[in-house]
Structure 1
Amino acid sequence: MSSGWRFAFSRRWLGYLAFAIVFAIACGCLSAWQLARSKEAAAANAVISANFNSTPVPLSSELPALGSFEPKQEWTRVTVTGTYERDKELLVRNRPFNGGPGFEVLTPLRTASGALFIVDRGWVPTGNSEDAPDSVPAAPAGQVTVVARLKPSEPGIPGRTASGRQVGTIQLSVVKERLGGSDVYTGAYGLLDTQKPAPATAPTLTVTDPPTQDEGLHWSYMIQWIIFALIGFFGLGYALLTEYRKRNEDDPEEQARAAERLRKRALRRTDADVEDDLLDATR
């Protein structure tokens, strides 16, 4: 006797359906996350395109307060005139560049307002005999006009410590403490682009070309998660249909449908399939 589809409403199959729905929701969330990441990458690329080679603007107009900074300002070129506080220079440890270990040189620039703007003058390699550079090219003395690209304060890294005139990251709140709590720009610092007068020797600039603008494979991953969700429902439907056919294999109507499926499958057989059957038979 045919049991029809009544089995599909059993606790077991309802559990399978619930699992498929939960799996689809999880895939949907992951797909939405990839879409959000794609939008973030596109927004970051737009900021680079708009700001990296922008016309320099005065620092005071771009950062009206010491803590001012918005993500859309990253890479903006600013110009500021002041005097380097060379005796307050700091080194950022563990900064690789072109495959080599080294330090980045942070030199505070005393602006006309009296505040200190942190300028990352570039990179120097680790020395031969100690955990410090062999030498650091001196910043220009006297008044200097700097063009720099704004970068946000970096977060701290757990476990990364430094002492003396070194810091673990360019976390501007920590830099401010190391400088004795003076008036310091803590929203952003500047990656050096140019300065006048230019010194005879200087650290190697860490950024001279725009970062690679790559949005990654987020769109591809987003579509893949949607496909995975659909595959889950397809698999559930296939398993349901398979069990239906097995439970109803004695039903005349189902037997007729099974015979029709076999007939259509035979019509789709190719010469290669026939040859394979002959070879199997002779083994």
Structure 2
Amino acid sequence: MRSFRFLLSRRWVLFLLTVIAPAWVAWRLGEWQFHRLEDRKERNAIIERNELQDPVAVTDVMAPDSPLGADDEWKRITATGTYAVEDTVVVRYRTREGAAGVDVVVPLELADGSSVLVDRGWFATDNRGATPDDVPAPPAGEVTVEGWVRLDATGDSTAVTDQSTRAINSEQIGDALDREVVTGFVDLRSESPSAEVELLPVELPELDNGPHFFYGLQWWFFGVLALFGFGYLVYDEARGGRGMVRGSRRSEGPEHPAVDRGA
């Protein structure tokens, strides 16, 4: 077997670097997927724990200028007040099974003068240009709602234009409506009295672990496969590449064809 000194050559050093780089990336991507798995398990545990608790008053969890924590999301709350129909906000691009629609968010005015944003559910629309005037009205008068606490969305999609947005952010909506609102919003579970036209309820998150475990294994497998392939090529080179030489010689045929002695 030949010496492994060939690994010090420029060609093999560059080859090694081109193998290590994607193997390292694959390893980090695998770790990222497993971190996402742990985050999802933690989120599921919070949701399951909060769903088992009895609902509490909205003021026990949510208040203006009071940040919410991850443990607060999906807590069940109750609130009593009056819907401010004139300040309805539609959340665009909320499709269900391929159908166009919007989520309908209406501020519920509380006794202390503040409001809580209530996502009352999904409403199918003929196009993506629906306005607050196109959606069914909530119940009139005093209403008691029960729902789940949700954290504000972030990013450019939370901008509000003409009482329309792509994602719910209480600060952005409060500023656009010139209304004092509590931090976060509420996904409606039930309201009493009921509306004449009920909306489709908000979709709850799935409490499975998702595909992250298998994605993580796949990335690690790709990294190990790259290193294994490099190791095999090193082994083959160290033993002189005899398998490749024999194969090439068989394909080429005899080097000196036999002389026709009968000529």
**Cα separation, 1, equivalents of 2:219 and 2:230:** 17
Task: Give the match for residue 192 of structure 2.
Answer: 196
Structure 2: distance between partners of 1:191 and 1:95:
14
Query: Contact (CA 8 Å) 1:150, 1:188: kept in 2 or not?
Result: yes
Partner of 1:168: 166
Q: Which amino acid aligns with 1:39?
A: E
Q: Does 1:235 pair with 2:233? A: no
Deviation, structure 1 residue 118: 0.6
CA distance in 2, matches of 1:194, 1:163: 28
Deviation, structure 1 residue 108 = 0.8
Amino acid aligned to 2:32: W
Aligned residue for 2:180? 183
**Does structure 2 retain, via aligned residues, the 8 Å contact 1:31–1:225?**
yes
Alignment match, 1:225:
219
Larger radius of gyration: 1
Q: How many residues align?
A: 242
**C-alpha spacing 1:167/1:229, structure 2 compared with 1 (3 Å):** closer
Name the % identity.
31
SS in 1 for 2:240: helix
Q: CA deviation at 1:86?
A: 2.1
1:217-254 deviations in Å (ceiling 9; x for gaps):
222222233222222222222212222222799xxxxx
Pair 98,134 (structure 1): closer, same or farther in 2 beyond 3 Å: farther
Task: Give, in whole Å, the separation in 2 of the partners of 1:220 and 1:136.
Answer: 42
* C-alpha deviation, 1:79, in angstroms: 0.8
For residues 142 and 100 of structure 2, the distance between their equivalents in structure 1, rounded to whole angstroms, comes to 32
C-alpha separation in 1, matches of 2:192 and 2:228:
67
Q: In structure 2, do the counterparts of structure 1 residues 195 and 18 end up closer, same or farther at CA, with 3 Å as the change threshold? A: same
Structure 1 gap ranges (5+):
250-283
C-alpha root-mean-square deviation of aligned residues, in Å?
Answer: 2.8
Partner of 2:90: 91
TM-score (ref. length: structure 1): 0.74
Partner SS, residue 124 of structure 1: strand
* Contact preservation (8 Å) 2:132, 2:163: no
CA distance in 2, matches of 1:7, 1:167: 63
State the 4+ residue runs in structure 1 displaced beyond 6 angstroms.
none
Alpha-carbon deviations, 1:130-170, whole Å to 9, x = none? 74478533222322221111112223445x97643333332
C-alpha distance in 2 between matches for 1:163 and 1:25: 45
SS at match of 2:81: strand
Instruction: State the Cα distance separating 1:32 from its structure 2 match.
Output: 1.0
Equivalent pair of 1:4/1:248 in contact (CA under 8 Å): no
Q: TM-score, normalised by structure 2?
A: 0.79
